Amino acid sequence: MAPIAVGDVIPDGNLAFFDENDQLQKVSVHSLAAGKKVVLFGVPGAFTPTCSMQHVPGFIEKADELKSKGVDEILCLSVNDPFVMKAWAKTYPANEHVKFVGDGSAEYTHKLGLELDLKDKGLGIRSRRFALLVDNLKVTAANVESGGEFTVSSAADILKAL
């Protein structure tokens, strides 16, 4: 499957997260993104170094700026279960706007065409690092990294696309 690209409509699929009342929610991507401007950024794994120290903090730090430019939702996607995503989110007490969503079996990541095979590193199938800007379900920016790079999918890169 070809990776998601600019001009594509994002596929629908289910993701899971814990809401502000600590209740597990299973929601469709389309229900989160229809009629909204959304940043969906993906990381290879919760608690991994680049994800934890650079990628996620950048979106947390730039959240107000993204919101001021019309972004309604900022979603951090990882091929982890929602319990891991909840624990990871708690390591960012200053976070007010980034929602940590789990794609435990990589089904949604597969629909995006953004799987990353890390079985040789003991991690299984994961997500490539990416950042998508989606406006009413249509992809307007698709910044997808190669391998383990972190060069085009930062919050600053998405701000340039707004």
Tokens encoding 147: 């391998």
Tokens encoding 81: 């279960």
pLDDT at 119: 83
Question: Is 51 among the catalytic positions?
Answer: yes
C-alpha span between 104 and 94 (Å, rounded):
25
Q: Mind listing the domains of the chain with CATH numbers?
A: 14-161 (3.40.30.10)
pLDDT at 75: 98
Q: Which amino acid is at 78?
A: S
Q: Is residue 4 within 8 Å of 113, Cβ to Cβ?
A: yes
Which of 43, 51, 142, 158 is an active site residue? Answer: 51
CA 93 to chain centre: 19
Write the pLDDT tens digit of every residue in 96-148: 999 999 999 999 999 999 998 888 887 878 899 999 999 999 999 999 998 77
Q: Residue 29 belongs to what H/E stretch?
A: helix 29-33
pLDDT at 13: 97
* Three-class secondary structure assignment of 68-129: HCCCCEEEEEECCCHHHHHHHHCCCCCCCCEEEEECCCCHHHHHHCCEEEEHHHCCEEEECC
pLDDT band at 92 (very low <50, low <70, confident <90, very high): very high
Write the pLDDT tens digit of every residue in 39-65: 999 999 999 999 899 999 999 999 999
pLDDT band at 93 (very low <50, low <70, confident <90, very high): very high
pLDDT at 117: 85
Share of the chain above pLDDT 70, in %: 99
C-alpha span between 34 and 119 (Å, rounded):
34
pLDDT at 137: 98
Burial 4-32 (b: 16+ CB within 10 A, else e): beeebebeeeebbbbeeeeeeeeeebeeb
Residue 37, pLDDT > 90, answer yes
The pTM assigned to this predicted structure is 0.95
